[in-house]
With several copies, the nearest count.
Chain A
C-alpha cells in the first residue's frame, strides 16, 4: 500500500524517439529507468503500481535473482502478473517465505535486511522528504491522502530509497503540507522527465529523459531546481526492455 507512484502509462504522452528507434511513452521510460536502477541490487522493497512493474521488469531483463519484498509479508515473491494489490494471492504463493506484519517491520525492514526501497508520494521537497498524509492543514485537510503506511520505517530502514513520482509542481514542492517520511536515504528520484539525485543535501537534476529540456523540468518543479554542470541523458529504451515491459503489462 506504500510506494504507489501515481500516473499510469496511459496518462503519459509520447516523446519523440529521436535517439531510440522505437516509439515509447515517457511513462514507459520512467518504468524502464527505475528497472535499470535495480541492476546489481540484492533485494528491493516495493509497493503496487509503477514500482511493482519496474521491479518485475528488472527481474526479467537485468537481475533475475532480485528478491522482491512486499510489506504484506511476502519475501522473495515471483509474481507473473503485475499485482493490483500488495495482498494478491500470487505474491504469497510464489514467495520464498511469508511472515507476519510485525515480523516484516521488526526483523526485515527495520534492521536493514532489504537493500533498496521504491517509494511514491503526493509531495516531495528538495530534501526528498515525502508527504502522503494530507494536502492542506492536518486538522482540516483539503485532500485527505491514505497516510503513512509502511513508508516512514521503510525509508529509514532500507539502505537506499528510490522515489518514483510524476514530475509536476503539485508534487515537487518547496514546502510539504505534512512530513510523513524522511528523505535522508533517498539516492534517486525518477520522474517522467528525468532523474534527480541529492547533491549537497538538495535534490538536483542529473539526468534528462531523451527530448526533455532542463527548462521543461524546471517549469514542472516547485522550487528553484539546480542542475549538475553536465546533465546526462537517459539511454532510450532498448527494444528488449520495451518488448519485455509491454509483454509484462499485457499479461
Chain B
C-alpha cells in the first residue's frame, strides 16, 4: 500500500548510490521534480534508464550523477542535440559514461518483459543493423515456424519514478494523455515512486485514464508542476520555449553548471 510522503522522503527511501533508476514519461509527464530531488540528495553512480533521455537526463548526466545510460533516443525533442549527453559520450565530461542503447521497440519490450516478470520478450528487430552487435540482444528461433527473431532481456530497475496527474488517499494513481511506458516501468521495478499534481478524495476514471492501484506503489508524493518544463495533460502546459532555451544553456559547461546551481541544486553540492 502506497505511503503518501514528501518528495524528499520518497527519494531518500528509494534511491541509493549505484542504483538503476528509471524516470519514465514518454515526451509527457516527465518527472523533473523527482529527478532534481535525486540530484539535490547527491546520488552518484546511477544507472539511468529511460527510452528518451531528454533535458532531465541531460542535467543528471551533466552533473556527473550517472555511470551508465540505458536508452533508445537521446535528443532534445524537436530542437536537436543534448549537449551534456554528447559531451559525456564524446569527451567523458564530467565523467565517462557507459552506454547501452536499443530501439524504442526494444526498450518497450524490455519493460513489458520486466512488468511480466519474464526474462525476455521476442520481437522482430535489430537484424541487419549495427545495433545488434553493440547491445544486449540475442537471436531466438521460433519453435513452430523456424523463423529467427530477436530476444530482448527484461528491464527490472531498482527504482522506477513517474509523474501522474492525481492520487487518492490510498495512493491509487491516475494519469491521462500520452501514457508511454509508465505502467510497465512501475510494475517492473523493485521500488516505486509516483509524484502527482494533486491529491483527490476519490479517483474518477477519465477517458484515456490509466489507473494504477496503490498496492503496487511504494511512495506517492505531491509535486504540483512536477513535470515542468514537460507537462501534465489537462493541468500544465509544455514549455516549448524552455526546450529551445536549453539548447543554449547546455552548450557551454560553465553556463550549464551555473544554471544548475541557480535553478536545481540551490547551493547544495551534488
Point out residues on A near B: beta carbons under 8 Å. 1-2, 4, 42-43, 48-49, 67, 71-76, 83-89, 91-93, 96-102, 104-107, 109-113, 133, 138, 141-144, 146-153, 156, 178-182
Closest 4 interchain pairs by CB? Answer: A87-B27, A146-B75, A85-B77, A111-B117
Pick the interface stretch among B11-19, B83-91, B248-256.
B83-91
User: What is the bound-complex CA distance between A113 and B212, given in angstroms?
Assistant: 12
Task: Tell me if A152 and B75 are in contact (CB < 8 A).
Answer: no
Contact A153 B77 (CB under 8 A): no
**Chain B residues within an 8 Å CB radius of A75:** 213
Q: Are the C-beta atoms of A73 and B130 separated by less than 8 Å?
A: no
Chain B residues with Cβ under 8 A from A91's Cβ? Answer: 178
Q: Which residues of B contact A (CB under 8 A)?
A: 1, 26-28, 51-52, 71-75, 77-79, 81-82, 85-86, 89-90, 101-105, 108-109, 111-112, 115-118, 123-126, 128-131, 134, 172, 177-181, 183-184, 187, 203, 205, 208, 211-213, 215-216, 230-231, 233, 237-238, 240, 243
Neighbour of B131 across the interface among A89, A93, A105, A152, CB < 8 A: A152
What's the Cα separation between A74 and B26 when bound, in Å? 12
Q: Can you offer 22 A-B residue contacts whose CB atoms are under 8 A?
A: A2-B73, A42-B215, A72-B28, A73-B179, A84-B240, A84-B243, A89-B238, A100-B181, A102-B109, A106-B115, A107-B115, A107-B116, A110-B116, A113-B187, A133-B131, A141-B89, A142-B90, A143-B90, A144-B85, A146-B82, A148-B72, A152-B126
Q: Bound state CA distance, A137 and B148, in angstroms?
A: 29
- Assuming the A-B contacts A98-B177, A150-B103, are A106 and B78 also in contact, with contact meaning beta carbons closer than 8 angstroms in the complex? no
User: CB-CB < 8 A to B101: which residues of A?
Assistant: 133, 147-148
The CA-CA distance from A119 to B102 in the complex, in Å, is 18
| Contacting pair A153 B243 (CB below 8 A) | no
Residues from chain B with Cβ under 8 Å of A4 in the complex: 75, 78
Q: In the complex, which of the residues A42, A72, A87, A141 has the most CB atoms of chain B within 10 Å of its own CB atom?
A: A87
Q: Which residue of B lies closest to A148 (CB)?
A: B103
Known A87-B178, A180-B130; contact A105-B90, beta-carbon cutoff 8 A: no
Chain B residue nearest to A42 in the complex (CB): B215
8 Å CB contact of B180 from A101, A107, A152, A156: A101
**CB <8 Å contact, B131 and A180:** yes
Q: How far is the CB of B140 from chain A (nearest CB, A)?
A: 16
Kindly provide the distance from the CB of A175 to the nearest chain B CB, expressed in whole angstroms. 12
Beyond A73-B26, A97-B211, A106-B109, is A86–B77 a contact (Cβ under 8 Å)? Answer: yes
User: Of the candidates B211, B215, B240, which one forms a contact with A43 in the assembled complex, judged by CB atoms under 8 Å apart?
Assistant: B215
Q: A67-B215, A102-B108 are in contact. Are A182 and B125 (CB under 8 A)?
A: no
Decide yes or no: A73 and B180 within 8 Å by CB, A111-B117, A148-B103, A150-B104 being known contacts.
Answer: yes
User: Which B residues are CB-close (under 8 A) to A105?
Assistant: 104-105, 108-109, 123
Q: What are the residues of chain B within 8 A of A100 when measuring CB–CB? A: 179-181, 183-184
Find B103's partner among A107, A153, A178 (CB 8 Å cutoff): A153
A103 vs B237: C-alpha distance in the bound complex, in angstroms? 26
- Which A-chain residue is minimally distant from B126 (CB atoms)? A152
Q: Which of A1, A43, A110 contacts B52 (CB 8 A)?
A: A1
